[in-house]
Amino acid sequence: MASNVQPKPVPKHIRFILGGLAGIGAVTVCHPLDFLKTRMQLRTEGTVATEHTTFIHMAKTVILTEGPLHLFDGLSAAVMRQIFYTSARTGIFTSLNDIYSKDGQPPTIIQRLGIGVVTGVVGTFFGVPFDVALIRMSADGRLPPEERRNYHHVGDAFYRIITEEGILTLWRGIIPTMCRAVVVSTSAFVTYLQTKEFFIRRGYMQDNFSNHFVSSMISGLVTTITSLPFDAIKTRLQNMKIKDGKAEYAGMLDATTKIITKEGVSSLFRGFTPYYLRQGPFTILYFVMLEFITKEYRRFVLGDMSGAGL
């Protein structure tokens, strides 16, 4: 009978909060893999020999030369990014998803793709400054001591960037980041919801943990393949330094051309393994946590016993 009960709507502002909480929990667990992905994306032909080609070697090098705690460099920026970017992305997507649900039927896949585009664009504006700080803090340990930025935390990074390079530097790489965000929003949310509903509709699984887990794994794989090239380009743009008044890359197109010409197309997929190993667990943890805390909010706050999650 519970399945026939119409679920009560979760207030829009609460959806933002729940999305942020799920994002913080997931990113805290997965941050070391994100850190290694960033280091691998910045490994070019001219870098030092200790930067190995596999993420296992990379992890070993960081642990032995810098210490295991450095795998969490940039965590403060990552957490703040979840508070602003992921909460906005989740709140907007789930709210629009509710608006376009008619007579108990979910939005069409075309509508969800459109929602994903809007979600990615809006979320990017709030998330890029934290992304810039995160990339720089994660990359610092690979540089010679005299070239390191030595940001102490995300607040120090913001202050230094604004005073030394100008406030607009916080939005450097916004175009590839926006492209990545649109791809991630559409790939992650649309793939997850469509897969979950497919399993339920066909009777393969119920709306339970097994369904959430499998749907999250599929969503993570699709998201990794489609978003990694944009992620690689934004990482290069956000980490670059201005030397003698000249930037290493003039923009997204210039960065893409130079990377492919000098290092090959495959370099855009560098860091695939740690990125997926991060994206897979992150997607699983994120959606499982989001489903759980949404259900608990409905149950304890709204008195909704329908068992509905997202």
Q: What is the CATH number of the domain that holds 153?
A: 1.50.40.10
In a domain, 3, yes or no: no
User: Mapping DSSP to helix (H, G, I), strand (E, B) and coil, where does residue 41 land?
Assistant: helix
In a domain, 62, yes or no: yes
In a domain, 307, yes or no: no
Provide the number of structural domains found in the chain.
1
In a domain, 306, yes or no: no
Note down pLDDT in tens along the chain; length 310 residues. Answer: 344 556 677 888 888 888 888 889 889 888 998 898 888 888 764 444 445 567 788 888 889 989 999 999 999 999 999 888 888 887 888 888 888 888 778 888 888 888 888 888 888 888 899 999 999 999 898 888 888 999 999 999 999 999 999 999 999 989 888 888 888 778 887 888 889 899 999 989 988 888 888 888 888 888 888 889 998 998 899 888 887 778 888 889 999 999 999 989 988 988 888 888 777 778 778 888 888 888 888 888 888 776 666 6
In a domain, 144, yes or no: yes
pTM: 0.71
* Residue numbers of the domain that contains 80: 9-300
Cα–Cα distance for residue pair 13/123, rounded to 1 Å: 15
In a domain, 2, yes or no: no
In a domain, 305, yes or no: no
